[in-house]
Structure 1
Amino acid sequence: MSISRKYGRTYHYPFSPGTTSDDRIHHDYWSDVNKLKTIVHTEKLDGENNCLSRYGVFARSHASPTVSAWTKEIRQRWELIRNDLGDIEIFGENLYAIHSIEYRKLEHHYYVFAVRMHDVWLSWEEVKFYAAMFDFPTVPELKIVQPTTEATFRENVLALTRQSSILNSQDIQSGAPCTCEGIVSRNTEEYAVNDFMHNVFKYVRKGHVKTDEHWTRHWRRAKLLWEYPHV
């Protein structure tokens, strides 16, 4: 039995090229998007989904708290805030370990993208509020849009995916600059946990993953911005 409910599976846009056999695609996404007043597009970061709740720090599984080496830093931070979390659960991208992208402008190793309270995912404004309250950054906010036509909406998403990461993304194999991993779009307002798939969508670029199942044996810690030499 899980201590808490894990983060929902985010469905891909049908024009997202970075899908695998395990991914789910929301073919009729526009029927949901068209019902939302405003949507915020955020950068999808290449890390590990970690949840902070009063019960501990959780990775993909919420059956028990994580004890991985690359979550040591965020677990130490959790010890300082655990008694202040109450009923909120903070979800963020843990970038402490480098995966397929190395970021050169990290100011922190943990970037918040969602906050849950009981059976509700809080609004984007509340996400930013709680992130600031606990002194965490949020994932880069790229654009807030009001859906008009499907063609315009889709072009907005595609235009954002062609940009470099706000955090200066570089391919781990070549060391060359690369575009961001993808885009996560969400309803700016709060919504019920059970309505997750109708309020959150993603685009992932093709060929993003450069790691294999053995990456945990030789993982590297991501440097923060101030650790890189500056000319």
Structure 2
Amino acid sequence: MQSVKYGRTYHYPFSPGTTSDDRINFDYWSDLQQIKTVVHTEKLDGENNCLSKWGVFARSHAAPTTSPWTATLREFWQLVKNDLGDLEIFLENLYAVHSIRYQQLEHHFYVFAVREAGRWLSWEEVTFYAALLDLPTVPVIGIESTPVNRLLFEEKLLNITGTAGAFDPIDTATEQPCTLEGIVSRNAVAFHRDDFAHNVFKWVRKGHVKTNEHWTRNWKRAPLKNEGGNYVDFNNR
């Protein structure tokens, strides 16, 4: 097997956006008590893509993706593939609009995790490698030490969920401003792949996916804040 797909992220018990096949970490508070530093990032509404020396992968890692909305990412991969080594760069691909259209996007690809030889690298290493590749990371909402009060912790996260996030989102179903899709919390330090469920948690808003048709049928390219700048299609530079 060339690569292992990104693991399923368990929901916080107070996450309203669960579906029948989602998993919930009811013991998340015990896990958090073992984590010295927690990083909260914005969950963006895109496609989970992975760059490795083997190619560009979508959610399944059975074979490299050939989708039209990964065309520019695959061009980028051609430039960096020989420098990746054993690194697997996981990013949110926002090239195609899903259920949210972001009005202030500066880039189409936002790194959220890096794996190397069965080990999820620390957030510091994630930002380091993203910078080396000249890619941004997903927006950081906050960083905190081990939370001590569960009710206050949950209240704080729920207050954040009522905000718009970093990129001025519009709900494609209503064409109205909306709140962020969700929050992903992770251990700031590195951890083994087998311990993923105890180190990464998420909150997702209720009824997030509102598109009547699957977004791939009539997909549209997401506009960028500064079209013609440094982060647009290669052939438009």
Short-chain TM bin: over 0.9
**Distance apart, 1:82 and its partner CA:** 0.3
Report the Cα distance in structure 2 between the residues aligned to 1:133 and 1:159, rounded to whole angstroms. 34
Question: Is 1:62 aligned to 2:69, yes or no?
Answer: no
Partner of 2:38: 39
| Identity value in percent | 63
For structure 1, which segment, 72-81 or 154-163, has the greater mean C-alpha deviation from structure 2 after superposition?
Answer: 154-163
Tell me the distance in 1 between the aligned counterparts of 2:140 and 2:101: 19
Runs of 4+ in 1 over 2 A off after TM superposition: 211-215
CA drift of 1:211 comes to 2.3
1:25 aligns with 2:19: no
Given that 2:173 and 2:211 are in contact with CA atoms closer than 8 Å, whether structure 1 keeps it comes out as no
State the Cα distance separating 1:222 from its structure 2 match: 0.2
Aligned to 1:77: 76
In structure 2, what is the equivalent of residue 15 of structure 1? 14
User: CA offset at residue 186 of structure 1?
Assistant: 0.2
Stretch of structure 1 that moved more, 111-120 or 169-178? 169-178
Q: CA RMSD in A?
A: 1.2
Instruction: Provide the C-alpha distance between the structure 1 equivalents of 2:40 and 2:161, rounded to a whole number of angstroms.
Output: 10
Q: Shift of residue 59 of structure 1?
A: 0.4
Aligned length: 227
TM-score (norm 1): 0.96
- TM (norm. structure 2) is 0.93
Query: Which runs of 5 or more residues in structure 2 are unaligned?
Result: 229-237
Distance 1:227 1:72 in 2: 18
Segment drifting more, 98-107 vs 149-158: 149-158
CA distance in 2, matches of 1:49, 1:213: 19
* Structure 1: tracts of 5 or more residues without a match: none
Structure 2 contact 69–95 (Cα < 8 Å) conserved: yes
Deviations 1:20-55 (A, max 9, x none): 001001111101011100101000000000000000
How far residue 73 of structure 1 moved from its aligned partner, in angstroms, is: 1.0
Deviation at 1:86, TM superposition (A): 0.7
Alignment correspondent of 1:118: 117
